[in-house]
Amino acid sequence: MTNKTKIKRLRLWVAALRSGKYTKTKGQLYRPLPRESHCPLGVAHEVKILTTTGHRPRWDEFTQRNGKMPPATSRWYGLDDGDPYVMESPPLSTAELNDGSYDRRPVSFRRIADMIERRLIKPLED
């Protein structure tokens, strides 16, 4: 996959996180009730499925409760891990930032989108 393709796909994820369309949840990719909500990794998975099929994903029990993107989704974005580290010091992953870890408060989708741009997209553009 070319860097141009990776950048385009990562930007789709960033745009979705900033869109205000998704309600935030913690601890799993997708929560159907009481109000449909996603973690940032669940947003990434939904964007991938919508982009490749034109339909929303069918969330099975394993996928919705898993703490990482499915392997096919992380590969689609050109990522080596289903929960990429987007903060260097201290090193924190997307899920850790979303859920609040290591005595840190949870971070907003917009802030996570900024970190994805800085940590995952910018190095591909240089």
The per-residue pLDDT for range 74-116, each reduced to its tens digit, is 999 999 999 999 988 788 899 999 999 777 789 999 999 999 9
How far is it, in rounded angstroms, from Cα 24 to Cα 4?
Answer: 29
User: What is the sign of the dihedral through the CA atoms of 70, 86, 109 and 15?
Assistant: negative
How far is it, in rounded angstroms, from Cα 119 to Cα 27?
Answer: 23
pLDDT of residue 90: 80
Total count of domains within the chain: 1
pLDDT of residue 91: 86
Torsion (CA) 109, 110, 112, 113 in degrees, nearest 10: 120
Give the CA count within 13 Å in the CB-facing half-sphere of 94.
Answer: 34
Print the domain residue range for 37: 3-125
Q: What is the pTM of this model?
A: 0.92
Contacts of 96 (CB under 8 A, 6+ apart): 102, 104
Nearest to 26 by CA among 101, 77, 87: 101
84: exposed, middle or buried (C-beta count within 10 Å: 0-12, 13-18, 19+)?
buried
User: Among the residues of the chain, which ranges form H helices?
Assistant: 3-18, 40-53, 61-65, 71-76, 94-99, 109-116, 122-125
Answer yes or no: is pLDDT of 25 > 80. yes
